[in-house]
Amino acid sequence: MSRILDQRILLLVISFLTRLQSTKVLSEWKKCGDQECETTMSRVQATTDFLGPDCRYLNFKTGEEIMVYSKLSRKNEDLWIGSKGKDFGYFPKDAVKIEEVFITEEVEVFTKETDFLCLHGDKYTSE
């Protein structure tokens, strides 16, 4: 009985640690086209395939078009946030080339806790 309890506790700890890692704040600041980060900043094209490490990242294939809404700043400046169809998430700026710029003056704002959760349908989750 105690062995089963030990295994359940271990699984609970692993689950908790995995959840903490996937909600880890990637940066405290981001740059956007407006204060709400709702304006599309640019349109980019993937120059390589990308498969993110968790559900917060946008996966894409070479040649796909991505709309950029914000860019992490100060810490992790190499990560941008954008969408491809219905999918939304982080991706490395080095995996894309800029096709068209819509916003030239960026606004730096604080990130929110919800910036680092996964969005599935209409609700936020962490994996």
β-strand partners of 68:
42, 82
pLDDT in tens, 30-56: 999 999 999 999 999 999 999 999 989
Indicate if the pLDDT at residue 89 is higher than 60. Answer: yes
How much of the chain is helix, strand and coil, in % rounded to 5? 20, 40, 40
Question: Coil, helix or strand for 119?
Answer: strand
DSSP state letter for 48: S
Cα 30 from chain centre:
12
DSSP state letter for 39: S
Indicate if the pLDDT at residue 17 is higher than 50. Answer: no
Task: Say if CB 73 and CB 30 are below 8 A apart.
Answer: yes
> Predicted confidence band at 7 (pLDDT cuts at 50, 70, 90)?
low
What DSSP line would sit under 34-54, residue for residue?
STTS-S--EEEEESS-B--SS
Instruction: Break the chain into its structural domains and give their ranges.
Output: 26-114
Indicate if the pLDDT at residue 91 is higher than 50. Answer: yes
Task: Say if CB 66 and CB 90 are below 8 A apart.
Answer: no
Output the CATH code of domain 26-114: 2.30.30.40
